[in-house]
Amino acid sequence: MEQVRRCEHCRRPLRVTARADARYCGGACRAAAARRRRRYAEIERLGTALVRGRAAEVGRFCPVCGLWFLPGVGFRRDAVYDRPACRTAAWRARPAVLPCPSWPPAPSATPTPQDGEDEI
Ligand SMILES: [Zn+2]
Ligand SMILES: [Zn+2]
């Protein structure tokens, strides 16, 4: 008896016309599986760091509320704040807390693709 092959992501049976080495039912599932793999790899990286007592290297304290969080798990890897509310609060408070000569940003900051941008 021939075993029904299933998509490795959504577990739906593959079409009979699927290639012999097909693992997913379509491009969407293949992309989703790749995203999930990357996410698991990221969680594994963070988990390993936590287990080895290197939490300070991978975790971050939100500068607004002081909560510790893990950028990369549910957050962008370069996240600074743990919540959108904190980001908003920091943004509102920024001119008062951080007097910066370039604040507010000049509206005429149109990017000029001159240096560093290699044309193909
Ligand atoms: Zn699928
Ligand atoms: Zn916060």
Residue 115 lies in a domain: no
How confident is the model over 41-98, as pLDDT tens digits?
Answer: 988 988 899 999 998 888 999 999 999 998 887 788 889 999 999 999 988 887 655 5
| Domains: count for the chain | 2
Same domain flag for 33 and 5:
yes
Same domain flag for 36 and 66:
no
Same domain flag for 2 and 38:
yes
Report whether 106 contacts 85 (CB < 8 A): no
Containing structural domain, residue 4: 1-55
What's the 45 CA to ligand 1 centre distance in angstroms?
A: 27
Rounded to whole angstroms, the Cα distance separating 19 from 7 reads 12
What's the 25 CA to ligand 1 centre distance in angstroms?
A: 4
pLDDT at 119: 55
pLDDT at 1: 59
Is residue 36 scored above 90 in pLDDT?
yes
Instruction: Mark which of 36, 55, 74 sits at the end of a domain.
Output: 55
Residue 106 lies in a domain: no
pTM greater than the 0.85 cutoff: no
DSSP-assigned letter for residue 15: P
What's the 14 CA to ligand 1 centre distance in angstroms?
A: 8
What's the 83 CA to ligand 2 centre distance in angstroms?
A: 5
